[in-house]
Chain A
Amino acid sequence: MEPVTREELKPARSGGILSERYRLFLYALPFLVLVFLFSYLPLYGWIYSLYNYRPGFKLSDTPFVGLQWFRSIFANPTQTAEVGRVMKNTIAMSSLGILTSVLPVAFAILLSEIKAMRFKKTVQILTTLPNFISWVLVYAIAFALFNVDNGLINKIMIGLGLQERGINYLATDNHTWLSMILWNTWKGLGWGAIMYIAAITSIDQELYDAAKVDGAGRFRMIWNITIPGIMPTYFVLLMLQIANFINNGMEQYFVFQNPINKDHIEVLDLYVYNAGMLGTNFSFATAVSMLKSLISIGLLLFANKLSKWVRGESII
């Protein structure tokens, strides 16, 4: 059989100018270009950390300062403590994010157990919708609920006689991490569950039927069929989330930040924004943002070690 196939392929190969290898390369090229444009080209921006850059001037017109900004991060104990505080927040929020990643799984399972289709769909739509609201609007909702003079919560609390006068609930540093993760969960729960709902529907129905025949109850079926059925999906998503550990974004923290909660809400991305855009120090902010890459490399090496230890083979 094989020789025949080769014979058949030959004319096609000789018809093209490029060998198959190059053809495959060309297929991949657009994606390589995209990767280059969006993953490698931005690295050029690191050069700003070596200058005293000020917006409006050409980089070549601004003084070259070498590693001064990097040194300034570590030369000064207060500065180092600041960066340490920011890293702590970043790691805390990301870890909480990973811990709460089981919530969409639980939600999806609960949802799939609902028999009333109408109710199920309604719940699903209502919980998915917040994902499409921008953080700015989420803050607007939070403000409407919690502000002092007109806020719903304050009105209710005062109306019920539970508190004497308005309290500014948004301006508190108690449980900042927790409240941020709650907002995050509220916004992302329904959306996060979609993937798992799909995974659940793809589980073979016969397994459930067989389990029923064997006398399994609802919880047994969830425990022994549904959960093992969606575990692969969960782990893939979890891995992606760990890879994104350091990128917890800044929109949410940006809109919710105020002087009171700033100590605990300032994650790395937000700190870089505050230092660069608000404080007009692009070069210093660039230097700090490069910490992110350091930590990412650290995470990668850690995952690699873990993989070697667990599976006996490395990923890089």
Chain B
Amino acid sequence: MNKKIRKAGLASTAALLALSLAACSSNNNGGDASPSASTGASAGASQEASASPARDEYTIDVFSMLSNFSGEQQGWFAKVVKDKFNLKLNIISSNLEGGGDVKFNAMMSSGDLGDLVVFGDDGQKYQDAIKAGMLLDWTQNGLLDTHGKNIMQYAPKAIEKNKVNFGGGSKVYGIGFDVGEDKDGPSEGKDLTYHPNLRFDLYQQIGSPAIKTMEDYLPVLKKMQELEPKSDSGRPTYAFSMWKDWDGNMMMNTKAWAGLHGFDETDGFSNGGFTLISADKDEIQGVLDEDGYYMRGLKLYFDANQMGLVDPDSLTQTFDDVVNKMTDGQLLFTWFPWMNTYNTPERLAEGKGFALVPFEEERTFSYGFNPYGGNRVWAIGAKAKNPERIMEFLDWMYSPEGVIVSNYGPEGLAWKKGADGKLELTDLGNEAFPSNQTPIPEEFGGGTWKDGQNQINNTTLKMTATNPETGDPYQYDLWTSYLAKAPNKLEENWRAAMGGATTAREYLEKNGKLAVNKQIFTGTAPELISDDLSQKQSQVAQVIKQYSWKMVFAKDEAEFDKLKNEMIEKSKGLGYDDVLNWNKEQNEKTFGYRKQ
């Protein structure tokens, strides 16, 4: 099957290559022709392909520090990019290639960060890359003005922020993600980035016990596991299946519990370290604080492991493995609603699936709307051969059309325009969304929906912002047509149980369980850590990560305590307090900015 797809892909590539070569020899234009009008709905993919691309096929290296996929972009998104820009995306993922900063360091040393670069934050790495001259200044040769019309139209403040914060007031080296509207309140759609999701059907079957603290989930999950010990394919079920490839300064899956209490590693401005900062209050916790959420999270996982609720593979698997387990039904809990790949239309219709089961003390971290863009940055490498073509591609992704197409595919595949000009899902869309293994017709690139999704893993405009072309938000589950659909059985059950709230966000907002992090504009770049502290931070981070995992899998309480003391002692010995104090200083500054 796979081979066939690849073969077909090759054949069509060859044909297109021949076409483009022919075109090139006749009019010999390098890169000055602009792509088809950037706004307005894209025509069907096949139609565009026949309007032979006038430019050479060109493979760009997309170095993404957020991607969980490594290799050439496949499937429908590859086809879209190919047809529209005659580009191929070779995705380089630092998560998968060495982990940590290995790939970044190697690429920095080689003096080339690739063509399109995605930074996980705007801290050290981004600022180093600017200082070392690895990133292209978009104001050079009017690149942004000529090829970045959509960016200037839809994200002017994000450009302004980058100019002021990172470009000395005149240069632009990148643009933040999730550029939203200028308004208050949570920016999320139906779901938050974090909130506890349980297999709702099982939770109801055991009698929907009340949950007050985060620790109260354990007995509930245990009962659910007893009720459903095996997944669809007969594998054992677990409450917590974790992965370590996203760990930075600490164990990410443990940090998630802080997120559920309104604390996160970033204060919305300074970059992460060893503090957990409240989204909306002037409160700071150290990671190693005995009564802090991080330590509580570790204890919770330790207890869970003693109860047989933790997947023993957690230590050795990657995020992708966990998603597969989720799809198969091996999981009973997730911190992240966007991971609900178990919720296929068939299962939802049966009333099976994941949904929010809040706890009384919950205060979920919510990211406010941010017209300045978040701290995950898109940039262009200084050595990019055809920066104007990369700029055009990026600019397109910052257009309403680009947002829709790069997330939901070309018109006619998963969505279509209704009579009122608003968008609605096709049958295929209903089946495939959010990311199911639904087969895609050959003319749209073949393969499956999931494998063909945009693998760069960074957003451009905020998905919940309003699409000026339709008046609806970009996100499909907020479209008028989608909201009008009759709720599936799971939704019906959930809504009935939650006192009439229609979405998780609505419930959390109404019940005061949100901690909204208002976005700020400071006019300065986040301060960089000194080399001495940075060395301490990296060593302490390794200790914290290593011991956190060991503690979760400790044999007994005595070993857990022993490891905990060792972790604290070792971390402090390596300079934890120095780094923590520096982090706190930065956080206090942010609290000051918040009040301005």
Complex Cα gap A167–B553 (Å): 11
Binds A, one of B68-76, B94-102, B507-515: B94-102
Tell me whether A100 is interfacial, beta carbon within 8 Å: no
Complex Cα gap A63–B534 (Å): 15
* CB-CB nearest in chain B for A169: B312
Complex Cα gap A262–B534 (Å): 22
Complex Cα gap A55–B539 (Å): 18
Tell me whether B570 is interfacial, beta carbon within 8 Å: yes
Contact with B along A26-55 (1 / 0, CB 8 A): 000000000000000000000000001011
The answer on a CB contact under 8 Å between A260 and B315 is: yes
Tell me whether A19 is interfacial, beta carbon within 8 Å: no
Tell me whether A148 is interfacial, beta carbon within 8 Å: yes
Distance (whole angstroms) from the CB of B315 to the closest CB of chain A: 4
Kindly list chain A residues whose C-beta atoms are within 8 Å of the C-beta of B359: none
Kindly list chain B residues whose C-beta atoms are within 8 Å of the C-beta of A148: 311-313
Complex Cα gap A82–B570 (Å): 9
Complex Cα gap A289–B425 (Å): 59
Tell me whether A149 is interfacial, beta carbon within 8 Å: yes
Contact with B along A157-186 (1 / 0, CB 8 A): 000000001111011000000000000000
Residues from 289 to 320 in B contacting A, C-beta threshold 8 Å: 308, 311-313, 315-316
Binds B, one of A205-213, A224-232, A273-281: A273-281
Contact with B along A270-310 (1 / 0, CB 8 A): 00001101111110100000000000000000000000000
Contact with B along A75-88 (1 / 0, CB 8 A): 01111011000000
The answer on a CB contact under 8 Å between B315 and A171 is: yes
Complex Cα gap A170–B570 (Å): 25
Kindly list chain B residues whose C-beta atoms are within 8 Å of the C-beta of A258: 315-316, 549
Complex Cα gap A55–B167 (Å): 21
Complex Cα gap A72–B575 (Å): 11
The answer on a CB contact under 8 Å between B99 and A278 is: yes
Tell me whether A143 is interfacial, beta carbon within 8 Å: yes
Kindly list chain B residues whose C-beta atoms are within 8 Å of the C-beta of A281: 534-535, 538-539
Kindly list chain B residues whose C-beta atoms are within 8 Å of the C-beta of A217: none
Kindly list chain B residues whose C-beta atoms are within 8 Å of the C-beta of A275: 538-539
The answer on a CB contact under 8 Å between B553 and A165 is: no
Complex Cα gap A55–B99 (Å): 17
Q: Which of B106, B132, B539 contacts A279 (CB 8 A)?
A: B539
Distance (whole angstroms) from the CB of A250 to the closest CB of chain B: 13
Complex Cα gap A284–B313 (Å): 33
Kindly list chain A residues whose C-beta atoms are within 8 Å of the C-beta of B541: 279
The answer on a CB contact under 8 Å between B574 and A260 is: no
Our count of residue pairs bridging A and B at CB distance below 8 angstroms stands at 111
Dominant secondary structure of chain B at its interface with chain A: helix
Tell me whether B109 is interfacial, beta carbon within 8 Å: yes
Contact with A along B71-101 (1 / 0, CB 8 A): 0000000000000000000000000001111
Tell me whether A259 is interfacial, beta carbon within 8 Å: yes
Kindly list chain B residues whose C-beta atoms are within 8 Å of the C-beta of A260: 315, 549-550, 553
Complex Cα gap A277–B94 (Å): 12
Distance (whole angstroms) from the CB of B302 to the closest CB of chain A: 14
With A277-B98, A277-B105, A280-B105 known to touch, is A79 a contact of B574 (CB < 8 Å)?
yes
Interface centre among B98, B316, B575 (most CB of A within 10 A): B316
Complex Cα gap A279–B570 (Å): 17
Tell me whether A57 is interfacial, beta carbon within 8 Å: yes
Tell me whether B128 is interfacial, beta carbon within 8 Å: yes
Tell me whether B287 is interfacial, beta carbon within 8 Å: no
Contact with A along B541-569 (1 / 0, CB 8 A): 11001111110010000000000000001
Residues from 79 to 104 in A contacting B, C-beta threshold 8 Å: 79, 81-82
Tell me whether A147 is interfacial, beta carbon within 8 Å: yes
Complex Cα gap A147–B325 (Å): 14
Complex Cα gap A284–B533 (Å): 13
With A56-B111, A259-B244 known to touch, is A280 a contact of B101 (CB < 8 Å)?
yes
Kindly list chain A residues whose C-beta atoms are within 8 Å of the C-beta of B553: 171, 260
Distance (whole angstroms) from the CB of B234 to the closest CB of chain A: 10
* CB-CB nearest in chain B for A139: B316
Kindly list chain B residues whose C-beta atoms are within 8 Å of the C-beta of A284: 535
Partner-B contacts on A (CB < 8 A): 52, 54-57, 63, 72, 76-79, 81-82, 143, 147-149, 165-168, 170-171, 258-260, 262-263, 274-275, 277-282, 284
Partner-A contacts on B (CB < 8 A): 98-102, 104-106, 108-109, 111, 128-129, 131-132, 134, 235-236, 244, 308, 311-313, 315-316, 531, 534-535, 538-539, 541-542, 545-550, 553, 569-570, 572-575
Supply 11 further A-B pairs (C-beta < 8 A) apart from A143-B316, A277-B98: A55-B109, A57-B128, A81-B573, A82-B574, A165-B308, A168-B313, A171-B315, A275-B539, A278-B102, A279-B538, A279-B542
Counting from the closest, the 10 A-B pairs by CB-CB distance are: A78-B573, A56-B108, A279-B538, A259-B549, A56-B132, A55-B108, A168-B312, A278-B100, A55-B109, A171-B315
24 A-B interface contacts by CB (under 8 A): A54-B108, A55-B104, A56-B134, A72-B535, A78-B569, A79-B539, A79-B574, A82-B539, A149-B235, A166-B312, A168-B312, A168-B313, A168-B316, A170-B316, A171-B312, A259-B546, A262-B546, A277-B101, A278-B100, A278-B101, A278-B542, A280-B100, A280-B105, A280-B534
